[in-house]
Amino acid sequence: MQPVRNPTPDIPRPSPVAITPMGAAIAALLDEQFGARQRLAARFAALGAGAVFASWLSDGPRRPVTVRTLRRALGWRRVEALAETAGLPCGEFLLRLTRLLPAAVHRARPTLSAGQEPQQ
């Protein structure tokens, strides 16, 4: 039996991993290609919430974040763009993001080999 060929090579096949619109918004927010996570950490630090963000990177308990802190860290234009990606009103997007972002940042952190120290 021969493998099935893509009859329309100019149309990309869907990714084998399904991603929700909210997941796409979070992925865009944490895109490491453009250093987004580091910039977000810097924004949290500038707002006096650096310890909250740092807790998401550690193996200990992850501290909660407020809608207000997220809105201030991201900026309203970024919130609007990400909410549009997620297909949600801005308020609902921010509320969901308060629950999902700490775990997403934790999962997206770089893994260290034995003996490596985290970069500050």
**Mean pLDDT, the chain, as a whole number?**
82
> Which pTM value belongs to this model?
0.74
Q: Identify whether the C-beta of residue 96 lies closer than 8 Å to the C-beta of residue 26.
A: no
Question: Is pLDDT at 12 greater than 80 in this prediction?
Answer: no
Range of lowest pLDDT (47-56, 62-71, 107-116): 107-116
Residues 6 or more apart in contact with residue 89 via CB below 8 angstroms: 83
For the cut 70, the answer to whether the pLDDT of residue 53 exceeds it is yes
Six-digit token string for 112:
């260290």
Delineate the domains of the chain, giving CATH numbers in brackets.
21-108 (1.10.10.690)
**Which pLDDT tens digit goes with each residue over 72-91?**
999 999 999 999 999 999 99
